[in-house]
Amino acid sequence: MTSLPWWKEAVIYQIYPRSFFDTNGDGEGDLPGITSKLEYVQQLGVDAIWLSPFYTSPNKDGGYDVADPRDVDPRFGSLNDAKALIHRAHELNLKVLADIVPNHFSDQHKWFQAALHAAPGSAERARFHFYDAHLDGTPPNNWISLFGGPSWTQVPDGQYYLHLFDSSQPDLNWDNADVKEDFEKTLRFWLDLGVDGFRIDVAHGLVKEDILKNHHDPQGLSNALRLDYPMEPDERNELLLSVPYFDRQGVHEIYRSWRNIFDSYGDREIMAVAEAWVHPPINATKYVRADELHQVFNFDLLTAPFEAAHLFEVINRSIELNASVNALPTWALSNHDSPRVASRIGDQPSCALALFVLALPGSNYIFAGQELGLPDGELQDNDRQDPSFVRSGGLVKGRDGARVPLPWSGDSTPFGFTAGTPWLPLSQSWQPYTVENQEKDAESILNLFRRALSIRRENLLVGQNIQWLESPLHGTKGGSILAFKRGSITVVMNVSDSENVIELAGNVVLASFSSMQVNTAIKLLPARSCIWISN
Ligand code: GLC
């Protein structure tokens, strides 16, 4: 009997290394810190970890500005520490995904430094997107960087280089053979070191076309790309369909060639997941065609309101679209780029929604701290380090709130995270969230996640479909109850602000609220809650 690949329906725990656990007292998490906490991760019941970048980097964009993709930044440790981490993870039966950042390098990468010192038209400049200024000195086009401000920065000889993100992150030219070859080398480097796959950063951005063409509404487009910017859905959709630098056909050729590399590792079952924010949503499925990548992130739930009709629509759409290419969906409620789900929709809803999606077919990505119910950190503007805060002149608060280090133990901040001063402050109000406190409390969110993952592993079979259930109240597609059945488990979520009676037989095996309140006889489902019933 052949078993299914490990990554099908895997639960993957995202670790932001700088914020996980600090072992050397410098206030920033490090690789030995992660290694020392892997047993905690294993006990959660996840299958794999995804590590946000830990490579050599000036850290202008949280390590997504890579100066040497085949080495470890001293702030995180050494290559030997990376090997030890991978080794320990494998001992604990955890797979390891590394983050690969192919859209850009840091301006400190030796190639970019060489390009700066080389002449216009040189081979060194050809690895990036260097162009002459217009006759009036303005940049080659009017694109706006995703972090605000122009997408172009001028160098002393007058040429401009393209950067879709910070000016310290020059975009690579994927038409250049050196770039392709270097990334293949990087993939093999980490695979040979033992990683089991990759999360591919800005996977939809690598190939640029019509680089000299202006966009008809660059400011509108920039607003549309900002999830926190209020805009009519139709207007946003129309603008997002016109992004000139994302989702060009050429990216798929790159992933087909990478797939060959992954497959060459045979029964190691190497997998990759694409970060691809693309429009319309059907385009995301192209990244997971049989000869491309294995998974693509679905970002719908990072912004979805806690409303039955909306949740039904985005969840159902993702299942169906993925099925059209024989792939399974992915679910994520938080990551290092968006507000934490507990802050965005509230404590109870976030817990209910977590249980709901953990029972769905596909992979779940859990952002470290989500299992503790952590909210965003309370930061002052002078704490903030995100380039989007700096480049927007403070207009965009940025992503630091979700990146505040984890509270592990003790009664006072920084709750065991570091013996030094944490790089972002942990609020004293986080005491109830510490791992130490939650481990002691059978009803804590941490223990709820552990139970959910264990029941999922035991009862929900990979590849098993769901069947939406008509709600006893208003029907699945409207109203306040969302319910589905998957094998022997029925999942019911009440999104309303009042309790609801549900008429389903079976035993409640999991509830997003304190189990003391579970009334198996009348099945009164509290406001904003979710239960799993076993039949
Ligand atoms: C991705 C990362 C984000 C980073 C950006 C530029 O979206 O998730 O953190 O800032 O790419 O690399």
- The Cα-based distances of 388 to 52, 248, 397, 398, 399 in angstroms read 18, 25, 7, 6, 8
pLDDT > 90 in the chain, percent: 89
**Of the candidates 293, 307, 299, which has an alpha carbon nearest to the alpha carbon of residue 281?**
299
Question: What pLDDT score was predicted for residue 502?
Answer: 83
Q: Which atom of ligand 1 is nearest to the CA of 164?
A: 6
For ligand 1, the distance from its centroid to the CA atom of residue 393, given in whole angstroms, is 19
Q: Which residue's CA is the nearest one to ligand 1's atom 4? A: 64
Residues lining ligand 1, judged by CB closer than 6 Å?
A: 61-62, 64, 101, 165, 201-202, 275, 336-337
How far apart are the CA of 457 and the centre of ligand 1, in A? 31
- Specify the pLDDT at position 520: 61
> Whose CA is closest to atom 5 on ligand 1?
64
- pLDDT tens string 276-300: 999 999 999 999 999 999 999 999 9
> Where does the pLDDT of residue 517 fall: very low under 50, low under 70, confident under 90, or very high at 90 and above?
low
Catalytic residue at 267? no
* Ligand 1 midpoint to CA 319 (Å): 26
Pocket test for ligand 1, best of 64, 107, 226, 389 (most atoms within 8 A of CB): 64
In sequence order, which residues have a C-beta less than 8 Å from that of residue 191 and are 6 or more positions away? 261, 262, 265, 268, 270
Q: Which of 201, 273, 396 for mutating ligand 1's site (highest number of atoms within 8 Å of CB)? A: 201
Q: Whose CA is closest to atom 2 on ligand 1?
A: 201
Per-residue pLDDT at 1 exceeds 60: no
For the stretch 451-484, pLDDT in tens is 999 999 999 988 899 999 965 455 444 589 999 9
Ligand 1 centre and the CA of 202: distance in Å?
7
Q: Please confirm, yes or no, whether 269 is among the known catalytic residues.
A: no
Q: What is the pLDDT of residue 386?
A: 95
Residue 147 alpha carbon, nearest atom of ligand 1: 10
Ligand 1: residue whose CA is nearest its atom 9: 337
Nearest protein CA to atom 6 of ligand 1, as residue: 64
Q: Which residue, judged by its Cα, is nearest atom 12 of ligand 1? A: 64
Instruction: Point out the catalytic residue in the list 81, 182, 201, 386.
Output: 201
Structure tokens at 56: 């050599």
Q: For residue 495, report the distance from its CA to the centre of ligand 1, in Å.
A: 32
Full DSSP string of 197-208: EEEETTTT-S--
How many whole angstroms from 41 Cα to the centroid of ligand 1? 24
All domains of the chain, ordered by start, with CATH?
11-105+178-452 (3.20.20.80), 462-534 (2.60.40.1180)
Residue 277 CA to ligand 1 centre (angstroms) = 11
Predicted local distance difference test score (pLDDT) of residue 461? 86
In angstroms, the Cα distances linking 135 to 34, 138, 150 are 52, 7, 18
Atom of ligand 1 nearest to the CA of 101: 12
pTM: 0.97
Under the banding of pLDDT at 50, 70 and 90, the label for residue 184 is very high
Task: Take atom 7 of ligand 1 and give the residue whose Cα is closest.
Answer: 202
User: Would you say residue 416 has pLDDT above 80?
Assistant: yes
The strand ranges marked E within 312-357 are 330-332
Question: In ligand 1, which atom is closest to the CA atom of 165?
Answer: 6
Three-class HEC string of 106-159 = CCCCHHHHHHHHCCCCCCCHHHECEECCCCCCCCCCCCECCCCCECEEECCCCC
Q: Which atom of ligand 1 is nearest to 166's Cα?
A: 6
Q: At what angle do helices 79-91 and 177-193 cross, to 10 degrees?
A: 50
E strands of 208-275, at which residues? 271-274
How many angstroms is it from 474 CA to the middle of ligand 1? 40
Tell me the CA–centroid distance for residue 31 and ligand 1, in Å. 20
Could you count the other beta carbons within 10 Å of the beta carbon of residue 154?
15
Q: From the candidates 275, 292, 300, 337, which is the catalytic residue?
A: 275
**Res 518: pLDDT:** 60
Q: Which residue has the tokens 């206030």?
A: 27
What's the confidence (pLDDT) of residue 477? Answer: 47
pLDDT, residue 444, reads 96
Phi and psi, residue 468, nearest 5° = -65, 140
Return the percentage of the chain with pLDDT > 70, whole number. 96
Nearest-atom number in ligand 1 for the CA of 337 is 9
Least confident span in 62-71, 125-134, 149-158, 384-393: 384-393
- Give residue 201 CA to ligand 1 midpoint distance, Å: 6
Closest ligand 1 atom number to CA of residue 103 = 12
Q: Which of 61, 104, 166, 367 to mutate to test the pocket of ligand 1 (most atoms within 8 A of CB)?
A: 61
DSSP state of 287: G
Q: State how far the Cα of 429 lies from the Cα of 162, in Å rounded to an integer.
A: 43
| Nearest atom, ligand 1, residue 388 CA | 10
Name the pLDDT band for 18 (thresholds 50, 70, 90): very high
User: In the prediction, which pLDDT does 228 show?
Assistant: 76
Q: Residue 521: pLDDT above 60?
A: no
Q: Which of 176, 177, 148, 143 is nearest to 161 (CA)?
A: 143
